[in-house]
Amino acid sequence: MFGEIFKFELAYRLKRPATYLYALILFLFTFLFVIYGSGPASEKTNINSPYAISQFVVVLTIFGMLVASAIMGVPIYRDIEHNTKNYYFSFPITERGYVLGRYFGSFVILLGIMAVGMLAS
Amino acid sequence: MQLEIKELSKTYSNGVRALKGVSLTIRQGMFGLLGPNGAGKSSLMRTIATLQEADSGSVQLTGLPEGTSMPGDLDILTQKDAVRRVLGYLPQEFGVYPRVTAEAMLDHIASLKGIANGRERKEIVQGLLQKVNLYDVRKKNLGTYSGGMKQRFGIAQALIGSPRLIIVDEPTAGLDPAERNRFHNLLSEIGENTIVILSTHIVEDVTNLCSDMAIICLGEVVATGNPNDLVKDLTGKVWQKFVEKSEIDTYRKTHRVISTQLKGGKTRIHAYSEVPLTDFDAVTPDLEDLYFAKITEKMEVTTV
């Protein structure tokens, strides 16, 4: 049950352009900051020092929060928004499989998007 | 295999009593559920479809054949998961995920309904898409579908996994006549070895399709049985007369007028009476007369 819903959620997300758009924005944001040296590193530290990178990751996650709310807010709400709840819940699905499948499906996508953002630094 | 509903009651939190002790026995085949808007049809169907709880009463699905997930008897109100494995439900109102293709969505639903084998699933989905005449548009997103196409998608969704209990709530709303016929043929084909509960307010559909029916009004069953037998009981009790529109009210006071209808500029009234009425002509009753006769016992119906 979990597997089916998880796979469906992944496929659904991967087909949406928004997923790639979020990843691209985060990537560019990080990438541009780092190549122009406007990161948190001072003149006497390396731009790619572990300290500077971890500081910048903190900044990145602040923006990541916006993405997270956009991605993680809808997996369950989607059934109400599109009025599919009227028949979706008449299928032999378990509550746990449904909620967790939807949650982790979106969560994995979110991890992917954040990873792309991090990659740029 | 039959469905036994006993003394089912439901009161919503806003005080509406949707079902007041409904008892019905539904045998294999097509079962028609007639009733005015707000009669409790959808409440009853949603309860049978395990989507809402009843306050009291019981619903049992007895004599499920071997080969289904749970042969034997099922209590619909408690064994929800087992019931859902043999259930196909088409709600009155439903939506779709706009950015998923019909094929992908049906495939997902098929896997939820327990068809694990990918190839088998594909075959079932293709077959169904052909049956509901959506095969050509199977790769299009559901969001681009017209109302009738969405309705047909809903029908396909309900038929996945060869359900034993099919509940369809006003399935032909929004379908053109050709599609409606197609759907009726499909339903009667399936209805031979399953229980199909069909709710509608198109009286004619029930006459054509159903071997059994019930009329529900204000949460109570007011008539149940074979449509032809029910109509036969009414023979010689329905009378008609053409009157002026302004006279309707006076007739309402003196007769039990069950329906009024405009026919070529004049108003035709049908009245119910066990004894012949003077000035009225006898008519052969049809299911619509039965429907109105039963409904007017319970509530006022104004058609003109």
Q: Which residue has the tokens 């029908």?
A: B155
Q: Exposed, middle or buried, A57 (CB in 10 Å: 0-12/13-18/19+)?
A: middle
Question: Which secondary structure element, helix H or strand E, spans residue B13, and what is its range?
Answer: none
Q: Is B98 on the interface with A (CB under 8 A)?
A: yes
Highest mean pLDDT among A46-55, B57-66, B142-151: B142-151
Query: Is pLDDT at A104 greater than 90 in this prediction?
Result: yes
Query: Is pLDDT at A33 greater than 90 in this prediction?
Result: no
Question: Contact B32/B209 with Cβ under 8 angstroms?
Answer: yes
* Minimal C-alpha gap between A8 and chain B (Å): 7
A-chain residues near B97 (CB < 8 A): 12, 78, 82, 84
Integer angstrom CA distances of residue B267 from A74, B59, B121, B277 = 55, 44, 56, 18
A-chain residues near B85 (CB < 8 A): 92
pLDDT digits over B114-145, tens only?
888 889 999 999 999 998 889 999 999 999 99
> Quick count: other Cβ atoms within 10 Å of Cβ B153?
24
- By C-alpha distance, the chain B residue nearest A2 is B112
* Minimal C-alpha gap between B47 and chain A (Å): 11
A-chain residues near B114 (CB < 8 A): 92
* Minimal C-alpha gap between B144 and chain A (Å): 14
Question: Contact B75/B60 with Cβ under 8 angstroms?
Answer: yes
Question: Contact A93/B83 with Cβ under 8 angstroms?
Answer: no
Residue B240's DSSP bridge partners are B270, B281
How do beta strands B2-11 and B212-217 pair?
unpaired
Comparing C-alpha atoms, which of B87, B96, B185 is closest to residue B133?
Answer: B185
Predicted-complex ipTM score: 0.83
Question: Contact A29/A59 with Cβ under 8 angstroms?
Answer: no
DSSP state of A43: T
Comparing C-alpha atoms, which of A7, A5, A89 is closest to residue B157?
Answer: A89
Q: Which residue ranges make up each domain of chain A? A: 2-119
Query: Is pLDDT at B84 greater than 80 in this prediction?
Result: yes
* Minimal C-alpha gap between A21 and chain B (Å): 17
For residues B274 and B280, what is the distance between their CA atoms, to the nearest angstrom? Answer: 13
pLDDT digits over B39-53, tens only?
888 899 999 999 999
What is residue A32's three-state secondary structure?
helix
Supply B157's token pair.
Answer: 């969704």
Q: Is A12 on the interface with B (CB under 8 A)?
A: yes
pLDDT digits over B87-120, tens only?
999 998 899 999 999 999 999 999 998 888 889 9
DSSP state of B65: P
Q: Is B84 on the interface with A (CB under 8 A)?
A: yes
Q: Which residue has the tokens 């039959």?
A: B2
Query: Is pLDDT at B162 greater than 80 in this prediction?
Result: yes
Query: DSSP readout, B140-169?
Result: SBGGG--HHHHHHHHHHHHHTT--SEEEEE
Question: Which one has a higher pLDDT value, B153 or B245?
Answer: B153
Query: Is the CB of A86 less than 8 angstroms away from the CB of B85?
Result: no
Query: DSSP readout, B232-270?
Result: HTTTT-EEEEEE-GGGHHHHHHHSEEEEEEEETTEEEEE
Q: Mark out the alpha helices in chain B (DSSP H runs).
A: 41-48, 80-85, 102-112, 118-131, 147-159, 177-190, 203-209, 227-232, 248-254, 287-298
A-chain residues near B98 (CB < 8 A): 82
Q: What is the pLDDT of residue B100?
A: 92
Torsion of CA B111, B115, B116, B121, to 10 degrees: -80
Task: Return all residues near B96 (Cβ < 8 A) that are at least 6 apart.
Answer: A82, A84, B105, B142, B143, B145, B150, B153
Q: To the nearest whole number, what is the mean pLDDT of chain B?
A: 88
Task: Return all residues near B302 (Cβ < 8 A) that are at least 6 apart.
Answer: none
Q: What is the pLDDT of residue B97?
A: 92
Question: Which secondary structure element, helix H or strand E, spans residue B197, and what is its range?
Answer: strand B195-200
How do beta strands B238-243 and B266-272 pair?
antiparallel
Q: Which residue has the tokens 């949707």?
A: B18
* Single-letter amino acid, residue B272: Y
Q: Is B199 on the interface with A (CB under 8 A)?
A: no
